[in-house]
Structure 1
Amino acid sequence: MSGLQRPVGIAVGAWVRHAGQVRAVVGVSARTVTLTDTAGGPQEVSVAELTGGPDFAVVDLPVRMPLPAQSALETFPPEAIEKALWWEGHILEVLHGRRPEAEPDTLPRPGFGPETSVTARQRVKAAELTAAGHEVSASAVGNLRRKYKADGVLGLIDHRLAPKPPGFGSVDERVVAAMRVAISEAVDASTRTGSYLLWRTGEILRQDPESKDIELPSERTLYRVLAKLTRGTHTFGAATTRRSRAHGAKTPFGELPAFAPGEVMQIDSTPVDVMVLLDDGVPGRVELTAMIDVATRTLTAAVLRPTTKAVDASVLLARTVTPELMRPGWAEALRMSRSVLPHRRLLSLDERLEHAAARPVIVPEMIVCDHGAVFVSRNFKSSCRFLEIDFQPAHKGSGFEKGHIEKMLASVASLFVQFLPGHLGRSADHRGRHPERERLWSLLELQELLDEWIVAQWQNRPHDGLRDPAHPSRKFTPNEKYAALVEACGYVPVALSGDDYVELLPAEWRAVNDYGIKIKHRTYDSPELTPLRRQDSGIAAKRGLWEVHRDPYDVSRVWVRDHRREGRPWVQATWKHLHRAPVPFGDLAWDHVSHQLPGATEVEIAAAVAALLTRAHAGPAAEPTAKPNRRDRRVAARTKATAPTAPLPAQTADDCEPAPEPAAAEEKLAEVIPLGLFDPLEDPWRRR
């Protein structure tokens, strides 16, 4: 074998030993080499001077020494860190010939000069430390030098003192694996105790031929292993939380971006923790179905039903795309005209917004829902296709994919439901005694309160998810965010027309008798039904019955489809006892209480919310009120009706029986003239 060797190359980035120091090469020319210098700027030396030095060598060092991981150092005891930093000063002297705290012009101490090798320096350092009372060998100094070059200060710490990862000691891995299986089986099962899981672990091991002879450790050891494996899994806690943790996302959370109102909306339903009086007067629980807009966090619609059905989801969709009208008794601060919403601009597009409440009208582009039978039904899907809405169900068992609506439903419980009489609490442990004996609201009355609460509090409450990107400390309300996005993206809401609204309502098939139509013990009639009385509809599949559409949340009227009429096939029929309903409603009532005040202030909105919660907590018991004057009684007599949930068809003088004039000894009221309500089927631009 030849004794010739290839000359050592000097390139930029290499490390060389020169004059007792290890320096990096930052420049190479034909005659000179530029080296780094700890005393100042780069140092230029000739190739002959560099390679002719007594200690010259090309050193296999990284381009950069590892930086000390200060965060990892904090996990060690202070004594171990202090000892590692003490060793660092000695190792640096072995490497470079000088202590790190030495001045730049300080000469190396004897035994550490440039004429000595690293091995010789290690021997000198070991002898020096041994003489000072720290007995150590040269090989030990060398090991520490290599660890320091590889890991920095962390390499000098006694890793026996390092925090130990969660292990299981001498417990057999097969026992740990069996216990993991037992824990995974408990995810979807009812909550049990630790003793059951230990028994199940033993059963799993006995069923495995290769593991049945394993000797289990002590019960105390098994409980320690079980505690480590179940940490953060809620194995012994609430079953719902356990399932949510187990079936949650295994990858970093993402979010579907939404930059315009209606771009992404979410819908869901949940039981409400409050007792209400159902139609038969029996206390019971109801379900809340709601829809939220992701971009603005606007709660576009929410309905209460004893049991949510597919038609309820369609009605909720119809409510979302129709204006929310002001109701008698609502504070003037809740009007859209007094809110931050762009009322004038929207009013030019839809005159129905003249008396609208401060809740935006948002037409969905995409609806995200779960796989509940209500939302994956043919009825709801057909409604989405009718409105050209992208229907997007989430993955099964992935509630986090529609987290906005899940959080909103929980917020309704804490911000509104707990103020109501008959509150049940979130579980039996939080339930009071006999909540059904309190003064409960009826279902329709509670729906009225919920609609007012949405407009008064939810739409004007700063939301943590609506922050200004330029000023993260500032939070927007849903109404403010809607107004900002309308300016930014030019969103123009096209509200649902009257025909479309009626078409989305659930249908029933009824006969038109002499007295009209009877639905749920209520009779509806209209002069326009005269040609249909006792007549066959001609639809053999429905035994000649007529198609009737109605809003489950508004008992005031229904619509009958007369397929023989061209142009406007809907015939409106009004509840015969509409005049006896307790809540006045109509343009006259609005004009009577309107004072043309300036924009609503935060104080007025807060006062409206406080009054709402006080009224809701008091229950439906009658409260003493001041005696109404003549004008008030006339308005109430002319406009008595149930509060509608959306713009309703026109009402003629024959649709309602005139209300009997109240007996008044002091004066006689004027003649009662029924008030015509807003008609969504009428072209608003023709009414001039």
Structure 2
Amino acid sequence: MSAGRSVLRVGDRVLFEGRPVTVAGFDGARVRLVDDAGGAQVLLLAHLLAAAGFELLEASAPPPRLEPVGLLDALPASVRELARRWERHVVEVQTGLPPDSLDGARPREPYDPARHSLRDREAAKAAELTSAGQPTSAITVKRMRLRYREQGLWGLVDHRGTRPVSAYGRVDERVVTAVATAMAEQVNQSTGTRTRLRRRVEKLLEDEHGAGVVPMPSHATFHRLLTAMDTGRHTFGEATTRRTQANRPDRPFTATVALRPGEIVQTDTSPLDVMALLDDGVPGRVELTTVLDVRTRSICAAVLRPRGTKAVDAALLLAKMLVPEPMRPGWDQALRMSRSRIPHRRLLELDARLEHAAARPVIVPETIVTDRGTVFISETFVRACDRLGISVQPARPGTPTDKGIVERTFLSIRTLFSQHVAGYLGPNVTRRGTAAATEAVWSLPQMQELLDEWIVAGWQSRPHEGLRDPDAGARVLSPNEMFVAAIAAAGHVTMPLTGADYLELLPIEWRQIGDHGIQIDYRTYTSTELRRYRHEVSGVVGKDKQWEVHYDPYDLSQVFVRNHRDGGWITADWTHLPMVGAPFADFTWRTARQLVAQRGGDDTNETAIARALDDLLTRAGNGPDSDPRHRRVVARTRAGSRPTPLTCTDDAPPEPAPAEDDAGDDDAPLATVIPFGVFVAGDERRYR
């Protein structure tokens, strides 16, 4: 027998003693064979199978095979009925009996396998069908029998009714190819009309095949073709949607999955749909750089900057996400971490800075997924991540799905935060108000403070549809709740920054050390140690007498100069700091300069600016003040910087916070800010 066949059936054609015979029947262990001449013989089955030269020539029935039931059901009833009639004829030719024969029925005379060969039965069936008005040859009957053996009922179907219908009708395939090429060219172009596309298709056909060789369909047919081929392309829709659809990867992809906080975080920069007052007092757009933890959907850090984010801003983003978010003056006490679901007491044993932190978890990233913007592939950012043990994984070019979670978060920020802020622009110009620029009343630092408070109050405690607890009936969790569940399973490890680490992440300026020290933005810094290097060459190749100066934009009372000669850092204090007596930020300094200019003074005179700055801080701190903007400047300054003296004392008891009733009162005294040791650049202690 042939390989793969283990059953001998009635009707099979076998080779026995050098001649082909047909198996006519079985009787126990005996088998009846009939040759083509009609001669019959009975012999033992074991003798037949063991005979020399025995071979199965033709099986009477095909091997078991499932038929395409779905395709058969989709056929017209007439086609299906014709196939079933052919099935009755073929089965009768093959076995002698039709499929619905009763038990004990005998084959009709022309179709008895015991008396007639298969060829005779095929000829008899052809004659029967011809006499019934269906002209058929014996070759046709044999072809249908073989197709039935291989494909079952599907092989007997008239496949003229199953031919696939072209989605583009009878349009020339060359026209279809040219239309697909023209549509692909429209991805990065401005949206045009169908008439423009038709002209482009005509040009492509003429260049490739010659003028007039390929006939163009009518305008109606061409428009129907465009409608069929434009599905999912948005060729004649919004250009942004068209580019987004074209950026989808051709290969299969799955959603990013992280099992523990910080395993994968995604970061990206996008324009914020809000106008803010920039340093020059002119309204302008700002950029939002966000870091999002994939496992908990927590916004680890969010920084607003004017258009054109710098690499050092991205490095500061790392410092911001690796320290607790401090409570600010005016914030509701319900935003404290101690009042949230985060296990504050247990984490406090690991990191003492969490005592006065807001309800935003500190998540240490393991891998940061970024786009290929200059900010995130710069040496400043990459080296900062390398120093902190963070792996940087750039997304593939033109593949926004690699960081789709943070991309979607920008839309949530627009709907949950931006649209409620004065100066909201809307997602595009068609939804923009006429007075959006004039409605901008918040400065960039004020906007940053509003965003920080919203992250704690409106994002971290808000249920997120992407966070569900399978052990609690798929209950929707907030980022803080998911953080609690995740650290219970994966643990929690802090990585406090030392003073040296923090200094490396600060913005850098290159300045010469003159007779009076270092000058930055009309501020002079000096110290006893710095005087040794007046007019000296720094030793840095290409910098001559310029020295590397790091400064904290939220505390300009001192700067830090890298000692390229002897190593370490040199701390230089602002020469006019005794006139102010309080730390101040860069935006506070700019406000003081504006006050001097408004009074007709010289806004480059350091002494005049220092006096105006002290007056601003004093008047706004004592209150009431006629200008609430000054009080907000002071509040932000004190919240973002450390108090004098410069050394952080952990054993100093915190002063009581203001009552919640007075939190929103502009005339109420400003709250005392609890300092965070992490912002003390010279403090090398590690928290446990």
Q: How big is the shift at 1:109?
A: 5.5
Deviation of residue 352 (structure 1)? 0.5
Decide whether the 8 Å contact of 1:650 with 1:678 is kept in 2: no
1:165-204: CA deviation from partner (whole Å, max 9, x where unpaired):
5355554444444333333332222222222222122223
What's the CA shift for 1:513? Answer: 11
**Corresponding residue SS for 1:344:** helix
Match of 1:267 in 2: 267
Task: Give, in angstroms, the shift of residue 500 of structure 1.
Answer: 1.5
One-letter amino acid matched to 1:160: R
The residue that corresponds to 1:448 in the other structure is 449
* One-letter amino acid of the counterpart of residue 436, structure 2: P
- The TM-score normalised by the length of structure 1 is 0.70
Residue 447 of structure 1 deviates from its aligned partner by 1.5
* 1:679 and 2:677 aligned: yes
Q: Provide the rounded CA distance (Å) in 2 between the counterparts of 1:82 and 1:358.
A: 72
Cα deviation for residue 17 of structure 1 reads 2.5
CA–CA distance in structure 2, aligned partners of residues 472 and 122 of structure 1: 67
Q: Which amino acid aligns with 2:9?
A: R
Question: Cα distance 1:120–1:380, how it changes in 2: closer, same or farther (>3 A)?
Answer: same
The change in CA–CA distance for 1:429 and 1:152 in structure 2 (over 3 A counts) is farther
Cα displacement (A) at 1:217: 2.4
Deviation per residue, 1:354-374 (Å, 9 max, x gap): 222232222223222222122
TM-superposed deviation, 1:642: 1.3
Structure 2 SS opposite 1:205: helix
**Superposition deviation, residue 304 in structure 1:** 1.3
Q: Secondary structure at the match of 1:436?
A: coil
* Shift in CA distance, 106/214, structure 1 to aligned 2, threshold 3 Å: same
TM-score, normalised to structure 2, is 0.70
Distance between the aligned counterparts of 1:674 and 1:290, measured in 2? Answer: 29
CA distance in 2, matches of 1:309, 1:498: 22
The answer to whether the Cα contact below 8 Å between 1:653 and 1:673 also exists between their aligned partners in 2 is no
* Preserved CA contact (<8 Å) 1:371 1:394: yes
Secondary structure of 2:271's counterpart equals strand
Task: Check whether the contact 2:513–2:536 (CA below 8 A) recurs between aligned residues.
Answer: no
Correspondence 1:75-154 to 2 at 5 A: 75-77=74-76, 80-81=79-80, 84=83, 92=91, 95-96=94-95, 105=103, 107=105, 110=108, 115=114, 135=134, 137=136, 142-154=142-154
Task: Give 1:486-635 correspondences, 5 Å limit.
Answer: 486-509=487-510, 536=534, 538=536, 540=538, 548-552=549-553, 554=554, 559-561=559-561, 563=563, 569-570=570-571, 576=580
- Secondary structure at 2:290 match in 1: strand
Q: Deviations over 1:15-51 (max 9, x none)?
A: 5332x7x89xxxxxxxxxxx9x9xxxxx995264689
- Per the TM alignment, residue 130 of structure 1 is displaced from its structure 2 partner at its CA by 7.9
Question: 1:49-69 deviations in whole A, cap 9, x for unaligned?
Answer: 689679997644787433132
What residue number does 1:420 align with? 421
Establish whether residue 17 from structure 1 lines up as the match of residue 9 from structure 2.
Answer: yes
Q: What is the match of residue 485 of structure 1?
A: 486
Aligned to 1:281: 281
1:304 counterpart = 2:304 = yes
Deviation at 1:375, TM superposition (A): 1.6
Identify the residue that residue 29 of structure 2 maps to in structure 1.
46
Q: Structure 1 residue 265: deviation in Å?
A: 2.4
CA shift in 2, pair 1:644/1:190, >3 Å: farther
Q: Which amino acid is the alignment partner of residue 252 of structure 2?
A: P
- Structure-2 change in CA distance of 1:302 and 1:675 (3 Å): closer
Give the 3 Å change call, closer, same or farther, for CA 170–518 of structure 1 in structure 2. same
For residues 124 and 471 of structure 1, the distance between their equivalents in structure 2, rounded to whole angstroms, comes to 73
Which letter does structure 1 place at the counterpart of 2:66? L
SS in 1 for 2:454: helix
Structure 1 Cα separation of the partners of residues 118 and 275 of structure 2: 84
SS of the counterpart of 1:286? strand
Match of 1:642 in 2: 636
Q: Identify the residue that residue 409 of structure 1 maps to in structure 2.
A: 410
Greater shift in the superposed pair: 93-102 or 439-448 = 93-102
Instruction: Decide whether aligned partners of structure 1 residues 142 and 10 sit closer, same or farther in structure 2, where only a CA change above 3 A counts.
Output: closer
In structure 1, give the amino acid aligned to 2:288: L
Aligned position for 1:459 = 460
AA aligned to 1:642 is: R
For the structure 1 residues 650 and 77, does the alpha-carbon distance in structure 2 shift closer, same or farther, using more than 3 Å as the test? farther
In 2, Cα distance between the equivalents of 1:338 and 1:446? 25
Match status 1:651 vs 2:649: no
Give CA-to-partner distance per residue, 1:93-120, whole Å, 9 cap, x none.
55555565666x4535636655366666
Structure 1 residues 165 and 218: CA distance shift in structure 2, 3 A: closer
Name structure 1 gaps, 5 residues minimum. 1-8, 24-34, 38-42, 582-636, 656-670
Task: Provide the C-alpha distance between the structure 2 equivalents of 1:471 and 1:142, rounded to a whole number of angstroms.
Answer: 66
Q: Distance in 2 between matches of 1:378 and 1:653?
A: 31
Q: 1:141 to 1:672 in 2, by over 3 A?
A: closer
User: Hey, what does 2:369 align to over in structure 1?
Assistant: 368
**Equivalent residue, structure 2, for 1:188:** 188
Task: Verify the 8 A CA contact 2:582 2:643 in the aligned structure 1.
Answer: no
Equivalent pair of 1:272/1:285 in contact (CA under 8 Å): yes
Moved more, 199-208 or 221-230: 221-230
Q: Which residue of 2 aligns with 1:618?
A: none
1:200 aligned residue = 200
Shift of 1:504: 0.3
In structure 2, do the counterparts of structure 1 residues 580 and 260 end up closer, same or farther at CA, with 3 Å as the change threshold?
closer
**Which amino acid letter does the alignment assign opposite residue 217 of structure 2?**
S
| Alignment-derived partner of residue 179 in structure 2 | 179
Task: Look up the SS of the partner of 2:368 in the other structure.
Answer: strand
1:341 alignment partner AA: I
Structure 1 residues 81, 678: closer, same or farther in 2, change over 3 A?
same
SS in 2 for 1:252: coil
CA distance in 2, matches of 1:182, 1:498: 59
CA gap of 1:556–1:457, structure 2 versus 1, over 3 A, is farther
Q: CA deviation at 1:409?
A: 2.1
**2:234 touches 2:242 (CA, 8 Å); kept in 1?**
yes
CA distance in 1: counterparts of 2:5 and 2:499, whole angstroms: 78
Change (3 A) 1:423 1:203: same
SS across alignment from 2:241? helix
Q: How far, CA to CA, are the matches of 1:415 and 1:89 in structure 2?
A: 70
C-alpha separation between the residues in 2 aligned to 1:463 and 1:106?
71
The root-mean-square deviation of aligned C-alpha atoms, in Å, is 4.9
- In structure 1, the residue matched to 2:326 is 325
Per the alignment, residue 396 of structure 2 pairs with 395
Q: Residues of 1 paired with 2:67 and 2:636: CA distance?
A: 74
Equivalent residue, structure 1, for 2:607: none
Query: 2:218 maps to which residue?
Result: 219
In 2, Cα distance between equivalents of 1:530 and 1:673: 35
> SS of 1:324's equivalent?
coil
Identity %: 41
Question: What count of residue pairs does the alignment treat as equivalent?
Answer: 587
* CA distance in structure 2 between the aligned counterparts of 1:244 and 1:167, rounded to whole angstroms: 25
Amino acid across the alignment from 1:302: A
Is the alpha carbon distance of 1:346 and 1:212 closer, same or farther for their aligned partners in structure 2, counting shifts above 3 Å?
A: same
| Structure 2 stretches lacking a partner, 5+ long | 14-22, 35-40, 49-55, 586-630, 649-668
Report SS of the residue matched to 2:437: helix
